[in-house]
Amino acid sequence: MSPRKIIIDTDPGQDDAVAILLALGSPDEIDLLGITAVAGNVPLPLTQKNARIVCELAGRPDVKVFAGCAAPLKRKLVTAEHVHGKTGLDGPQLADPVMPLQDQHAVDFIIDTLRREPSGTVTLVPIGPLTNIATAFQRAPDIIGRVQEIVLMGGAYFEVGNITPSAEFNIFVDPEAAAIVFDAGAPMVVMSLDVTHKALTTRARVEAFRALGTEPGRMVAEWTDFFERFDKEKYGSEGAPLHDPCTIAYLIRPELFTGRHVNVEVETKGEFTSGMTVADWWRVSGREPNALWIGDLDAEGFFALLSERIGRL
C-alpha cells in the first residue's frame, strides 16, 4: 500500500514538533507533501521558523515549509506562550534554521496541491487553529470534494475546555474558521482533548525518548520536560497530554483509537462558550454526523509507536 499523502498545518508548539517528527519517521506510511504554518501557539514568524527547525532536527531540510495566515478570520490572535514558552519550542537550545521558507503562501499551496493531486488522495492534518484550511476552502470551494480526509487535533466535550471553561485552544483561537471546516462536508476525524488527555507523558515514557540516544529523542524528552510542568500543575496528572501526535498516529495505526461518528457544531456567538465544540455524543440533536469523534486510545501502543519512529530519525 502506498504512503498516505498529507499536508500538516501547524503552529509549533512542542507537541506539534513531535507530530512532525512522527510523520518524518514513518515514510512507509506517510508522504509529507509539505508543512503549512499558521499563527496559534505563538505568532506566525515563530511557527514557520519552528517548523523548519523541526525538519532540520529530523535531517529533512528538503521538506517544504510555507507561511500562512498571521491572524484569525475575525478575531485578535490569542497565543499560548504560558504553555510553550516565548519561542513556542522553549526547553533545549535550538539553532536558527538554515533551510529556506517557501515563497508561496500556505493557503495557495494547499489549494494548488489539492487541485494537482488526484482527487481523494490528499489528507489534511491541521494541528493548530483552522485559519489556513478555512481560508483555502473559502477561496477555492472546489477543493473540498477533493480532500481524502481531515484528521485534526482540536475540540473537547467530556474533558471540557483548556483555554476557557468550555473551549479547547485550537478551536477557541479561530472558531469562525473551525465552523467553516466542520460544516464543509469533507470526511473528518477529530482528536479532541477527550482522547489526548489519555496520552500522558509519564516519567517512564519521557525517559524512553531520552534513552533512544539520538538528537531527536533527546529533544523530545527535553521539550516534554519543559511543557509538562504546566499541565501537571494544572491537571494534577502524572504527566502532560501529548496532543498533536495523535493525528499522525491515527494515520499510521488507526486501530489504536476508538470513537464514534457524531455531529459536531462550533459555537461562535456564546458569551461564555465561544469556541466550544458541541459534540452530539448521544445523538439527541437529529443532526447528521459530520465527524468521527475519537474518545479513547491504547496509550501504551501509542507511546511505543512514537519511540520506535522517532528512534529511526
**Catalytic machinery residues:** 243
Question: Phi, psi at residue 131, to the nearest 5°?
Answer: -60, -45
Alpha-carbon gap, residue 83 to 242, rounded angstroms = 13
Query: Do residues 131 and 174 touch, judged by C-beta distance below 8 A?
Result: yes
Alpha-carbon gap, residue 172 to 163, rounded angstroms = 8
Which residues are registered as beta bridge partners of 191?
A: 153, 294
3-state class of 266 per DSSP?
strand
Take residue 255 and report the three cell numbers written for it. 486501530
Q: Exposed, middle or buried, 116 (CB in 10 Å: 0-12/13-18/19+)? A: exposed
Take residue 143 and report the three cell numbers written for it. 477543493
DSSP H helices, 99-168, are 106-116, 131-139
Distances, alpha carbon 182 to alpha carbons 147, 253, 268, in Å? 13, 24, 12
**Straight-line distance from the first to the last Cα atom of the chain, in angstroms, rounded to the nearest whole number:** 22
3-state class of 34 per DSSP?
strand
